[in-house]
């Protein structure tokens, strides 16, 4: 019989109640009556602690008698701004995290992970009112990500403020036990979590994530396929800023993480020459994060783009693809895009594809 994972939720003076209770309930409700998760609170000692709202909590365990956590949850609250400098607590967090399978910080709990020296080289987030302080205490190798519900670095996951901890906890349930269990848990909590793809127009706060996605895509294409379709040096911050300012650019997020981006253009393009017509929307710069490969995100983005183009009264979705990238050409054809021409430049060639909108 498999052992239930131990889920330790740290409590301390002036912790936020919902930061504690939200993830606690997620793991408790998803546990199949304790079969999968053994959830408990832990404090530095057994002395009761007071939440921000004045509720007194009795830690089930102290640092001395706490079962070894498989999952460590570090909530935030006003008290995090002082507890982050308590070496006995941050040392325990650091040592516990070394042995744990997963670590989740909620809200300003990220401050405690920072002073426990756990955030080097990671993407980090926190409550919007704690970003300035977080930037002061993280190493230069860490990257602050704003306007997301959470960021997943593999072992260490950090959520934004308060209720975002519920989203991050459900995400962990999804990672460990699948999306069906996660959706069941969200339903029991009557919480809106579906792992859905959210597509919207790109904004200035998306620039850093977009730049990283495009650079990683360019590296992967070059290293894995030996194709110079995109150059890493092309995707400067200035280029991305100009791109979203001048074009109709869209970003897609899934569970708080940038999943992909693309643009749709309507005006004449030389690459299409005499084949150009104004009854189509032209998809460009489509890229999907390598972190979520194999989940059909590219197909979903193409379907979304088609629906958007249809809503504009157009009858066709079109795009071009470098001719010397056979896997990508095969992929677009597998998505129902039909070859309709070729553009030859002095240094490169592109195949032209279209899909009739139903």
- pLDDT score of 256 more than 80: no
The CATH-assigned architecture of domain 5-195 is: 3-Layer(aba) Sandwich (3.40)
pLDDT, mean of residues 64-68: 98
Token code pair at residue 214: 């495009």
Catalytic annotation present for 107 = yes
Rounded to whole angstroms, how far apart are CA atoms 295 and 192?
Answer: 21
Mean pLDDT value across the chain: 92
SS3 89: helix
Residues 9, 24: Cα–Cα separation, whole Å: 7
| pLDDT band, very low/low/confident/very high, at 17 (cuts 50, 70, 90) | very high
pLDDT value of residue 52: 97
Which run of H or E residues covers position 199?
A: strand 197-201
β-sheet bridge partners, residue 71: 7, 102
Contacts of 173 (CB under 8 A, 6+ apart): 26, 27, 30, 181, 182, 185
* pLDDT tens per residue across span 172-201: 998 898 777 888 898 899 987 756 678 899
The token pair at 253 is 């997020």
The CA-to-CA distance between both ends of the chain, in Å, stands at 52
Give the start-to-end residue ranges of the domains of the chain: 5-195, 198-356
3-state secondary structure of 115: helix
Gap between the Cα atoms of 25 and 185, Å rounded: 9
Question: Which secondary structure element, helix H or strand E, spans residue 308, and what is its range?
Answer: helix 297-311
Can you give the pLDDT at residue 195?
A: 63
Report which of 155, 62, 160, 151 is spatially closest to residue 109, judged by C-alpha positions.
Answer: 160
Based on C-alpha coordinates, what's the Rg of the chain? 24
Instruction: Say how far residue 41 (Cα) sits from the centre of its chain.
Output: 27
DSSP-based three-state secondary structure for 8: strand
Q: In the structure encoding, which two tokens stand for residue 63, read together?
A: 């640092």
**Region 77-83 average pLDDT:** 98
C-beta of residue 169 within 8 angstroms of C-beta of residue 23:
yes
Q: What single-letter DSSP state applies at residue 108?
A: G
Residue for token pair 């997620």: 26
Q: In this structure, which CATH number among 3.20.20.140, 3.40.630.30, 3.30.470.10, 3.20.20.60 belongs to the domain 198-356?
A: 3.40.630.30
Catalytic annotation, pick one of 107, 261, 321, 340: 107
- pLDDT for 145: 85
Residues 41/57, Cβ–Cβ less than 8 Å: yes
Report the pLDDT value the prediction gives residue 219, as an integer from 0 to 100.
86
- Secondary structure class of 32 (helix, strand, coil): coil
């Amino acid at each position: 019989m498999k052992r239930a994972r131990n889920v330790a939720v740290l409590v301390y003076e002036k912790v936020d109640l919902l930061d504690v209770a939200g993830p606690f309930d997620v793991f408790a409700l998803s546990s199949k009556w304790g079969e999968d998760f053994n959830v408990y609170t832990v404090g530095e000692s057994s002395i009761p602690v007071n939440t921000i709202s004045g509720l007194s909590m009795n830690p089930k365990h102290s640092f001395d008698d706490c079962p070894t956590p498989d999952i460590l949850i570090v909530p935030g609250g006003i008290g995090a701004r002082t507890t982050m400098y308590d070496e006995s607590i941050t040392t325990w967090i650091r040592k516990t995290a070394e042995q744990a399978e997963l670590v989740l910080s909620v809200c300003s709990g990220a401050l405690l992970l920072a002073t426990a020296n756990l955030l080097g080289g990671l993407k980090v987030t926190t409550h919007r009112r704690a970003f300035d302080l977080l930037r002061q205490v993280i190493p230069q190798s860490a990257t602050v990500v704003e306007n997301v519900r959470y960021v997943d670095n593999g072992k260490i996951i950090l959520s934004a403020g308060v209720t975002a901890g519920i989203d991050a906890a459900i995400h962990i349930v999804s990672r460990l036990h699948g999306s069906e269990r996660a959706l069941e848990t969200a339903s029991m909590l009557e919480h809106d979590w579906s792992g859905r793809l959210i597509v919207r127009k790109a904004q200035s706060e998306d620039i850093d994530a977009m730049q990283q996605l495009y650079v990683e895509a360019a590296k992967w294409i070059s290293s894995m396929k030996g194709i110079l379709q995109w150059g890493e040096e092309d995707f400067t911050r200035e280029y991305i800023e100009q791109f979203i300012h001048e074009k109709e650019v869209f970003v897609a997020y899934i569970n708080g993480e940038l999943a992909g981006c693309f643009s749709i253009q309507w005006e004449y393009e030389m690459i299409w020459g005499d084949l150009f017509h104004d009854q189509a929307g032209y998809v460009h710069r489509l890229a999907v994060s390598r972190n979520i490969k194999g989940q059909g995100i590219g197909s979903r983005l193409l379907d979304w783009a088609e629906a958007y183009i249809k809503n504009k009264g157009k009858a066709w979705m079109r795009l071009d693809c470098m001719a010397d990238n056979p896997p990508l050409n095969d992929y677009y054809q597998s998505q129902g895009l039909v070859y309709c021409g070729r553009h030859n430049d002095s240094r490169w060639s592109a195949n032209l594809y279209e899909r009739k909108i139903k």
